[in-house]
Amino acid sequence: MEDQRMKSLLQRLNAAVTENNAHDEKETVDDHSAFAALYVAEHLEYECPEDVVAGCICLNLLNTYVKQDDAKIGYFFKHYIEHINAWLAQDPAPEIRFSVYKDNGQDLEILELYGIHQFSFHSVNVTQELRDASVERGYADLVWNGIRNQKAAMTLYRFLPEVIELSEDKELMQRAEEYAKIREQRVVREGYMPFLGHETYYRIVGAAYDKPALVLLHGGPGSTHNYFEVLDRLADTGRPIVMYDQLGCGESYVEGHPELWTAETWLEELKTLREYLGLKKIHLLGQSWGGMLAIKYLIDEQPEGICSAILSSTLSSSALWAAEQHRLISFLPEEDQEAIRQAEETGNYSDRAYLAANARYMDLHAMHLSKKLPKCVRRQKRAGTESYLTAWGPNEYSPTGTLKDFDYTDRLGEINVPALVISGTNDLCTPLVAKTLYDGIRQAEWELFPGCRHMVFVEETDRYCRLLSAWMERYDG
């Protein structure tokens, strides 16, 4: 009887997977995911009606459809909702263990759409983002398992090793064991470096590895390292990830010293940090202003030990940047263009119409702020307002500060390491700005992310991390 039930469920599952894959080639369900979902639903010491099991398994297919047509959700799930509601009405209420396929909080939204609030959560692709989303919604005591890929296999190995053993996939078991060891070493070490009578905060993810470290230079000036925490996962590939708050912001906050806010200060800070942490061999990633700092460092200092540079949504010329921003502004509604024009002419950047226009501009080309962003991006930070205003200016298109004459375009050929240029099609770093870098650096490659704005690594974290991992493996030396 048990074998027959298992066979019936497998047939249902296979039919649902086939239907899903036929509708959307990009969202497919592999056999390991399917088997893990079935096993978890069937063998974790609780009674579960057959229809509920099938419904839970099918939930991992829903995200394909919820983005396109809400009615399609019903094809996979509404058939089972009566069984689930009846089951939930029991006293005491049972738990439901869902196996879901996607790695964001939308799965929880789907459950809430159907009024399901009491469940534990089995994911075939666990991420910190999903954990954060669940905790925010009040689901603090969740159960996590997975078997979709190397990361998911690691998670499952740690929490439910018998599922991997049952899969009889020896290669998957070996990868899971190896990955579990790596993940356990994803330690975070924090500290402060004395600098110019102040302190520079740094954060290192990962233990001591043989691979060169990745050093991250944040934007702004004054933006903090926070958003770079989405790249913590790169430590799982076996290399330390080093980020820090540049002097003037975040945990390195300083104000009342406008004389500090020059490129030379932050260049000296970078040099000092490398020496302080013993970072002899590194990959160097700079985003936005951080990329400007990386360019200056690579050209003016010709440092040793740089395996490669990653120039993410950055620029070689403040003048070109300003010109491109004004070109983008020309596509805004006329009233927004006029508000920005008035602010630039009068120097009054506190006018309500200007602030609204600038916010819409940044929403289009920098980042759309929403609750769906990773927690590290939304986390409250101590921005370096003084350092930004002094070094750059009142906004992205009016460089009036100490960086207003920054221009290394004619010297890009002096960069003597492989360089990966990254930008988005909707980026403040327009294709012209990015192509200027690509054309000027002899060993350059350029990756353009369709639809992305200024925080490419936040909007397309998975693809960004895959790109970086492959790139650094090529040039670890």
Query: What are the structure tokens assigned to 394, written together?
Result: 């009142």
The predicted structure's pLDDT at residue 272: 97
Catalytically annotated residue among 107, 236, 336, 427: 427
Catalytically annotated residue among 123, 288, 313, 318: 288
92 prior amide bond cis, ω within 30 = yes
The span from the CA of 26 to the CA of 44, in Å, is 31
- The answer to whether the beta carbons of residues 454 and 315 sit under 8 Å apart is no
Q: Of the CATH numbers 3.40.50.1820, 3.40.630.20, 1.10.1740.10, 3.30.390.10, which one belongs to the domain with range 188-475? A: 3.40.50.1820
Contacts of 192 (CB under 8 A, 6+ apart): 199, 200, 201, 202, 251
Q: What is the dihedral of CA 341, 345, 346, 347, to 10 degrees?
A: 90
Catalytically annotated residue among 122, 218, 365, 454: 454
- 454 annotated active-site: yes
- 313 annotated active-site: no
- The answer to whether the beta carbons of residues 156 and 163 sit under 8 Å apart is yes
The predicted structure's pLDDT at residue 174: 58
Contacts of 364 (CB under 8 A, 6+ apart): 328, 426, 453
The span from the CA of 413 to the CA of 262, in Å, is 24
The predicted structure's pLDDT at residue 136: 52
| Strand order across the beta sheet in which 188-195 lies | 188-195, 198-205, 241-244, 213-217, 282-287, 306-312, 419-424, 444-449
Give the CA distances from residue 31 to residues 10, 268, 384, in Å, rounded to whole numbers and listed in that order. 11, 53, 49
Q: Which residues pair with 192 in a beta bridge?
A: 201
Give the CA distances from residue 145 to residues 155, 157, 163, 285, in Å, rounded to whole numbers and listed in that order. 6, 8, 9, 33
Query: What are the structure tokens assigned to 34, written together?
Result: 């399917």
Helix (H, G, I), strand (E, B) or coil at 212: coil
Q: What is the mean pLDDT of each run of 10 residues along the chain (477 residues)?
A: 46 48 40 38 34 35 31 33 44 41 41 42 41 47 34 36 40 52 68 96 82 96 96 87 97 96 98 95 98 98 98 98 98 97 96 96 92 87 95 97 98 98 98 98 97 96 93 94
**What burial class does residue 169 get, using C-beta atoms within 10 Å of its C-beta: 0-12 exposed, 13-18 middle, 19+ buried?**
middle
> Each residue of 292-343: pLDDT tens digit?
999 999 999 999 999 999 999 999 999 999 999 999 999 999 999 999 999 9
- 427 annotated active-site: yes
| pTM for this predicted structure | 0.65
CB atoms within 10 A of CB 224: 25
Show me where the domains of the chain are located.
2-183, 188-475
Annotate 423-462 with b (16+ C-beta within 10 A) or e (fewer).
bbebbbbbeebbebbbebbeebebbbbeebbbbbbbbbbe
The span from the CA of 222 to the CA of 390, in Å, is 10
Q: Which residues pair with 201 in a beta bridge?
A: 192
Query: What are the structure tokens assigned to 42, written together?
Result: 């069937």
The predicted structure's pLDDT at residue 66: 29
Q: Which residues pair with 216 in a beta bridge?
A: 243, 285
The predicted structure's pLDDT at residue 11: 53
